[in-house]
């Protein structure tokens, strides 16, 4: 039975997830490069220390890290430390990678860990900081059913929508595709609402109508009202991270020889935004970037009743890639 947990990666998502585990009665040993995060974890009742200090006390280790590169490095350290000395737990060690990792790396890690009798599932999340705090994350798991069942109760302490979606790597694959779709919806919504605003439609009214119609999405129903229309831009998920996920999805489409250029176009737009905006920009700030190119082109001017540059009679190319 899982009671003691190692949690590596106490960032904006990891810290509230670890806190929910503590509140559900688990003993959580946290690790992070940020001393502030460690202090906050201790203040919530958690333990801290180097992996070597607690690895033989835990039955499960959760990873919530920024990239596959870091995940791969940490797993090598876990293998080295866990195989040195005698583990006091009767059950084999389990590892849950809740990061947004590359599916191909995940499969390699699964096979490598099996050689050391270490169980492994990938279980990335969706829902943002708010749902991490509430413990209502959507969790999409990949791996063996026996390992998933072993960890299910633990996952239920952090999420309310939990599914085993397929073999190892499937969770990370669907997470990358989900974030690609989310980014696509967000970019399209920002362009559409700014076009409507330029025509004289108030953004709040536009969003209200769209949310009662078939054009609605998570972006219009949640991100616009909470982070964009309010100009708060504080969803807790950075532009840099969603760009990474879109790039991952774009590469997956390329690897599959998929006949579509849309993933490349979306990745290009978010890459441009990442270069133009602040390094710490929230991903909803893509709306600010949209305004730098979309509204440079005019539409019908009601005052002088003529079409200004960018209108339907202007002859300007408005195909994807031309709005700059």
Q: Which residues are catalytic?
A: 175
Q: Which residues contact 15 (CB under 8 A, 6 or more apart)?
A: 37, 40, 41
Q: Which residues contact 168 (CB under 8 A, 6 or more apart)?
A: 106, 107, 110, 120, 121, 122, 142, 143, 144
For the record, the structure tokens of 69 come out as: 């590169």
CB atoms within 10 A of CB 211: 15
Q: Enumerate the β-bridge partners of residue 143.
A: 121
Q: What is the C-alpha to C-alpha distance for residues 177 and 190, in angstroms, rounded to an integer?
A: 20
Q: How far apart are CA 156 and CA 154, in angstroms?
A: 5
Whether 87 contacts 98, CB under 8 Å = no
């Amino acid at each position: 039975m899982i009671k003691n947990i190692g949690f590596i990666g106490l960032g904006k998502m990891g810290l509230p997830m670890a806190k929910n585990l503590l509140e559900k009665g688990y003993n959580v040993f946290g690790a992070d490069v940020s001393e502030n995060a460690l202090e906050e974890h201790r203040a919530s009742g958690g333990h801290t220390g180097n992996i070597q200090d607690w690895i033989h006390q835990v039955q499960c280790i959760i990873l919530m890290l920024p990239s596959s590169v870091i995940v791969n490095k940490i797993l090598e350290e876990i293998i080295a430390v866990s195989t040195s000395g005698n583990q006091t737990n009767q059950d084999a060690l389990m590892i849950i990678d809740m990061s947004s990792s590359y599916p191909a790396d995940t499969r390699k890690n699964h096979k490598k860990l099996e050689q050391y009798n270490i169980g492994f599932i990938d279980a990335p999340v969706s829902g943002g900081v708010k749902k991490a705090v509430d413990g209502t994350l959507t969790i999409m798991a990949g791996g063996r059913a026996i390992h998933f069942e072993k960890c299910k109760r633990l996952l239920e302490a952090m999420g309310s929508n939990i599914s085993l979606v397929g073999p190892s790597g499937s969770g990370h694959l669907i997470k990358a595709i989900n974030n690609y779709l989310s980014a696509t919806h967000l970019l399209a919504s920002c362009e559409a609402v700014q076009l409507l605003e330029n025509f004289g439609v108030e953004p709040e009214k536009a969003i209200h109508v769209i949310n009662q119609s078939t054009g609605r999405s998570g972006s219009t129903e949640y991100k616009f009202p909470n982070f964009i229309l309010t100009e708060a831009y504080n969803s807790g998920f950075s532009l840099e991270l969603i760009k990474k996920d879109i790039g991952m999805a774009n590469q997956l489409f390329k690897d599959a020889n998929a006949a579509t250029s849309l993933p490349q176009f979306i990745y290009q737009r978010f890459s441009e935004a990442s270069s133009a905006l602040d390094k710490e920009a929230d991903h909803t700030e893509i709306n600010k970037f949209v305004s730098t190119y979309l509204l440079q082109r005019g539409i019908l001017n009601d005052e002088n009743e003529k079409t200004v540059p960018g209108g339907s009679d202007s002859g300007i190319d408005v195909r994807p890639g031309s709005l700059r």
